[in-house]
Structure 1
Amino acid sequence: MISVLAQERLLGAALGTALTGIVVFEQRKRIYESIPDHQSQLAAESQMKEKIFGKKSRSEFALLWNKAVDRYLCQ
């Protein structure tokens, strides 16, 4: 049969492996939970930027910019 020392080493290795597996699983779970939050935050920020600088305001800005450049260069 297996000696007491070998049993203790085997038990320690099994418990260590189980503990490491649990820690790795929890860390991965936290990482995967944080990814969708970060992506939704980026999507919300891009929607806010689009609302502030929509197509209409961008085209108006381009028109004003072109007029200003024309005035400066034609003087």
Structure 2
Amino acid sequence: MRPVIFIAAIALLAMAPARAQPLVDPSKVAPEFREAAEKRRAEQIRQRECALKADLDKVLPRDRTDYLNHCLDAIAAKQ
């Protein structure tokens, strides 16, 4: 039993940490997909702004989805 725990511990330590999805860089995308990449980047920036706002307002995890949806709708209404 002890070797199994040891192997499991090593496997957990060897795993790479999970990273957030990076921002899309339209300049590194094929020209035919550049417009879609620009739209995706703009959406990612809006989502990050709302997430930062939620962090600053100290929104509880259970209320975060509603807060983010409301924030994204408010940004879309402004544009």
TM-score, normalised to structure 1, is 0.36
Larger Rg: 1
Q: Which has the higher contact order (CA 8 A, sep 6+)?
A: 2
TM-score normalised over the length of structure 2: 0.34
